[in-house]
């Protein structure tokens, strides 16, 4: 379709193109190191990406449905994760009052979703080709059905992704005011007059992460829960899954918890620095406290690990390995928070290196 | 009381805004004039400590801005900017924060300013939901209530309704305020206030 330069479709696809380029640029340093360290794992994952859909064709319908739905959700996940970049909030606010016909909006959403689902389809095609080349026994009787299901799951993922973008763009319903609250008649101060540091921290480093569109609070809560859960399952040693895998999960979530928390605090400090420069306050002291507080969730996870291992609640592991793991985890987290002048690439290297070393140490815990 | 700026130099990338700039201001209102981009807001921010000069000294009486930063800032308030600096807070939380920063503030006086500007009903609203005029009124309530000697007000009449403008003029003309505060304000329109001086940039 030949679109004039002013068409809505062209505007949306160009905006999405720029957003994806910016996203790719932001990932460059991380990707270099991830590819260097985990290229075979990533290749393996790409090879297996179409497996659930192919396998669904050989299963009874309840399992087949679950596998099929899972594949649709996985293929739609990138659009959901990138939705704020693909259609930024400020563009939504600006474009909602414009006289754009709903059909054009849908076409634009479908095209933008296709920009993500298209390359995903290519990965699925490569994976499917590998499985067809391998030609395992379970696939032979159900191959045509498996191919149809894979194709259908990708079409559904594209439709679902389009719907995700369309839903984001719709006009929000006017929110009715909640329970009638008494209108304040006068102002009475509620700030403390002593011990102001915790108060400043709460106002300037806690509230911003939980309010408006900021998701840092939820993200850190999930990472903390994930870390605690990984440590608990690792030490519990359930059958089927090797404990080293849970050890890797614990190392990954622990390092990400501190790294992401520290990054959010650093960004908040950069935002506050020009504002606080005019306040009768020593901001550097507050900023140092905020940086130290970002270590607390990681320390909490380490404390749980220490209590469970060194407290003697669990038997059959090496005390020495547990102590080495704790010492290295502590050092790695302090390094993440204190080495602020290290480059982005250096920081990614530090975090990934720490994850690998912690995983290696942790794999010896039960030996 | 005196604000003394000596040998001030400040430049943005490729553009020198102030070079060896001197200024002496006493108590009362000084109207800072100049075309867009002349450096009015930058001068207020330099005097308020939110920007650091490349050279020169800024003193309020005997307090030098870099030698005694806390003492200086405790006597100074910069009232400016049309967008909230702390957009995650409510109006009440912004006021609370400033009361914690300036502990000698008279709460009754702040309450009176909020009442006069009809802002009490908005106390529990996030600052991002305020209109331009309401946001300016919140900043002005603080400016009029904080116990500072140097008041730096950037475009005080922007977005204000007629009643609020009249009230602000009345407050900024009060003789006891003019005797105890050095007020430097920028305005593209004649502020219609008793002026101690006018400064053209």
Per-residue pLDDT band for A272 (boundaries 50, 70, 90) equals very high
Q: Could you tell me the CATH number of the domain that includes residue B73? A: 3.40.50.300
Dist CA B40 CA B186 (whole Å): 7
Tell me which chain A residues have a C-beta less than 8 angstroms from the C-beta of B115: 186
Asked if residue B30 belongs to a domain, the reply is yes
Dist CA A80 CA A82 (whole Å): 6
Q: What domain range is A236 assigned to?
A: 208-362
Inform me whether the C-beta atom of residue B49 falls under 8 Å from chain A C-beta atoms: yes
Q: What domain range is B176 assigned to?
A: 3-83+139-200
Q: What is the pLDDT of residue A36?
A: 73
Better pLDDT: A237 or A73: A73
Mean pLDDT over A60-73 rounds to 92
Asked if residue B16 belongs to a domain, the reply is yes
Per-residue pLDDT band for A90 (boundaries 50, 70, 90) equals confident
> Is A203 in contact with B89 (Cβ distance < 8 A)?
yes
At A12-48, the pLDDT tens digits run 999 999 999 998 887 776 777 677 767 787 888 888 8
Residue in the block written with tokens 């704020």 = A84
Better pLDDT: A221 or A345: A221
Asked if residue B26 belongs to a domain, the reply is yes
Q: What is the pLDDT of residue A177?
A: 66
> Is B102 in contact with A214 (Cβ distance < 8 A)?
no
Q: What is the pLDDT of residue A364?
A: 87
Q: What is the pLDDT of residue B80?
A: 86
- Give the ranges where A194-282 is alpha helix by DSSP (H): 196-201, 216-236, 243-276
Asked if residue B101 belongs to a domain, the reply is no
Tell me which chain A residues have a C-beta less than 8 angstroms from the C-beta of B111: 186-187
Q: A295 with A357, same domain?
A: yes
| Packing angle of the helix pair A102-134, A8-48 (nearest 10 deg) | 20
> Is B124 in contact with A181 (Cβ distance < 8 A)?
yes
Q: A358 with A279, same domain?
A: yes
Is A201 buried (19+), middle (13-18) or exposed (0-12) by CB count in 10 A? middle
Give, in order, the Cα–Cα distances in Å from A268 to each of A262, A290, A358: 10, 10, 29
Nearest to A279 among B73, B110, B115 (CB): B73
Per-residue pLDDT band for A3 (boundaries 50, 70, 90) equals low
Q: A89 with A23, same domain?
A: yes
The average confidence (pLDDT) of chain A is: 88
Q: A156 with A224, same domain?
A: no
Is B68 buried (19+), middle (13-18) or exposed (0-12) by CB count in 10 A? middle
What's the half-sphere exposure (Cβ side, CA atoms, 13 Å) at A239?
A: 0
A1 has a pLDDT exceeding 80: no
Per-residue pLDDT band for A147 (boundaries 50, 70, 90) equals very high
Q: A155 with A300, same domain?
A: no
Q: A227 with A315, same domain?
A: yes
Non-local (6+) Cβ contacts of A66 within 8 A are: none
Nearest to B100 among A187, A196, A275 (CB): A196
Better pLDDT: A243 or B184: B184
- Predicted complex ipTM: 0.91
At A96-126, the pLDDT tens digits run 888 899 999 999 999 999 999 999 999 999 9
The SS3 of residue A358 is helix
Inform me whether the C-beta atom of residue A191 falls under 8 Å from chain B C-beta atoms: yes
Q: What is the pLDDT of residue A193?
A: 82
Q: What is the pLDDT of residue A179?
A: 67
> Is A186 in contact with B111 (Cβ distance < 8 A)?
yes
Per-residue pLDDT band for A280 (boundaries 50, 70, 90) equals very high
Tell me which chain B residues have a C-beta less than 8 angstroms from the C-beta of A203: 86, 89, 93, 96-97
Dist CA A262 CA A61 (whole Å): 46
Mean pLDDT over A213-239 rounds to 90
Asked if residue B169 belongs to a domain, the reply is yes
B128 vs chain A: nearest CA distance in angstroms? 10
Q: A217 with A165, same domain?
A: no
Q: A28 with A144, same domain?
A: yes
Give how many domains chain A has, as a whole number: 2
* Residues of chain B under the 50 pLDDT cut: none
Asked if residue B129 belongs to a domain, the reply is no
Q: What is the pLDDT of residue A178?
A: 67
Q: What is the pLDDT of residue A295?
A: 94
Last residue of a domain, one of A169, A199, A225: A169
Asked which of A12-21, A291-300, A309-318, B94-103 is least confident by mean pLDDT, the reply is: A309-318
Q: What is the pLDDT of residue A313?
A: 59
Nearest to A184 among B76, B78, B123 (CB): B123
Give how many domains chain B has, as a whole number: 1
């Amino acid at each position: 379709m030949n679109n004039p330069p002013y068409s809505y479709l062209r505007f949306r696809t160009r905006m999405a193109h720029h957003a994806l380029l910016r996203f790719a640029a932001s990932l460059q340093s991380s990707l270099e190191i991830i590819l260097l360290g985990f290229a075979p794992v990533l290749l393996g994952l790409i090879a297996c990406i179409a497996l659930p859909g192919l396998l669904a064709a050989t299963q009874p319908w309840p399992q087949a449905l679950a596998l099929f739905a899972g594949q649709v959700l996985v293929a739609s996940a990138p659009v959901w994760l990138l939705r704020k970049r693909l259609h930024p909030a400020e563009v939504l606010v600006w474009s909602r009052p414009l006289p754009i016909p709903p059909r054009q909006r849908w076409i634009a959403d479908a095209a933008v979703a296709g920009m993500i689902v298209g390359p995903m389809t290519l990965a699925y095609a490569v994976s499917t080709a590998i499985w067809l080349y391998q030609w395992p026994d379970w696939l032979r009787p159900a191959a045509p059905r498996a191919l149809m299901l894979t194709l259908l799951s990708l079409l559904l993922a594209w439709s679902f992704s389009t719907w995700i973008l369309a839903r984001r763009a719709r006009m929000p319903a006017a929110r009715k005011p909640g329970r009638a609250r008494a209108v304040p008649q006068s102002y009475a101060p509620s700030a403390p007059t002593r011990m102001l540091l915790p108060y400043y921290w709460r106002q300037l480093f806690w509230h911003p992460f939980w309010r408006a569109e900021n998701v840092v609070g939820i993200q850190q809560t999930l990472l903390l829960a994930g870390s605690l859960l990984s440590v608990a399952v690792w030490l519990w040693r359930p059958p089927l899954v090797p404990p080293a895998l849970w050890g890797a999960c614990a190392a990954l979530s622990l390092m990400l918890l501190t790294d992401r928390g520290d990054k959010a605090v650093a960004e908040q400090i950069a935002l506050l620095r020009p504002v606080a420069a005019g306040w009768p306050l020593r901001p550097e002291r507050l900023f140092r406290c905020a940086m130290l507080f970002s270590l607390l969730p990681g320390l909490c996870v380490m404390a749980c690990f220490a209590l469970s291992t060194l407290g003697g609640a669990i038997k059959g592991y090496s005390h020495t390995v547990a102590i080495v793991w704790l010492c290295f985890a502590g050092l790695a987290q302090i390094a993440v928070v204190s080495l602020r002048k290290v480059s982005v690439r250096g920081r990614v290297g530090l975090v990934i290196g720490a994850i690998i070393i912690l995983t290696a140490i942790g794999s010896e815990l039960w030996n | 009381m005196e604000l003394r700026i000596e040998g001030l130099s400040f430049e943005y990338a490729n553009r020198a805004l102030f070079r060896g700039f001197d200024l002496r201001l006493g108590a009362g209102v000084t109207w800072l004039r100049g075309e867009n981009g002349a450096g009015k807001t930058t001068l207020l921010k330099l005097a308020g400590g939110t920007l650091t000069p490349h050279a020169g000294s800024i003193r309020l009486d005997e307090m030098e801005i870099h030698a005694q930063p806390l003492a200086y800032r405790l006597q100074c308030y910069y009232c400016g900017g049309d967008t909230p600096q702390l957009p995650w807070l409510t109006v009440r939380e912004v006021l609370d924060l400033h009361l914690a920063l300036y502990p000698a503030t008279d709460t009754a006086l702040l309450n009176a300013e909020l009442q006069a500007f009809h802002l009490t009903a908005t106390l529990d609203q996030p600052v991002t939901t305020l209109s331009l005029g309401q946001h300016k009124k919140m900043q002005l309530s603080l400016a009029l209530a904080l116990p500072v000697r140097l008041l730096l007000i950037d475009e005080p009449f922007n977005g204000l309704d007629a009643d609020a403008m009249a009230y602000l003029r009345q407050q900024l003309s009060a003789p006891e305020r003019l005797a105890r505060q050095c007020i430097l304000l920028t305005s593209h329109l004649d502020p219609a206030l008793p002026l101690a001086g006018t400064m053209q940039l």
